[in-house]
Amino acid sequence: MSRAKGTYALLLELNREATITVGRLATFPFPAGYYLYIGSALGGLFPRIERHICGGNKLRWHIDYLRREARVIEVWYLVSGERLECDWYLAATDMPDAEVLVEGFGSSGCKCRSHLVYFKSMPSLADFRRKLGKGGADLKRVHLKRSKAHG
């Protein structure tokens, strides 16, 4: 199961506004609220998710910089060999009150504006499933009661 392939969305909660330098991308203000970060892992879905939840010693991906300030509260995922992250990003941006605040976040390998979507209030998994249509039917959710927050 550790080599399972798939797509995931991390739902992060940021309790207070923070100014964060995101690697070489730039420095951005991140308002308090909820962030949905979408990615894929075609070489090991569950180890990738675990790494994002727990953090790592090195700041490797854009999400690592936000993770130092925000905590992961849920993970939405689908085991699949298809790369679905761009479709998921488009579905997320079509949800109520969705905003793209950081251009290029997590999307350096595709043509999406970003793979990070901001919400002032907690987004609904049911809304996300509806936006995905038939592709959302098998989506799984893991709710995290506690997540190690950096910073």
Domain ranges of the chain: 6-143
- Strand ranges (E), 1-151: 6-14, 18-22, 26-30, 33-41, 71-79, 116-119, 140-143
d(CA 113, CA 86): 10
Enter the pTM of the model: 0.92
| Residue 15, both tokens | 């309790």
- Residue 103 CA: distances (Å) to CA of 18, 78, 127: 17, 25, 23
Tell me the per-residue pLDDT of 9-24, one tens digit each, with 9 for 90 and over.
Answer: 999 999 999 999 998 8
Tell me the per-residue pLDDT of 24-55, one tens digit each, with 9 for 90 and over.
Answer: 889 999 999 999 999 999 889 999 999 999 88
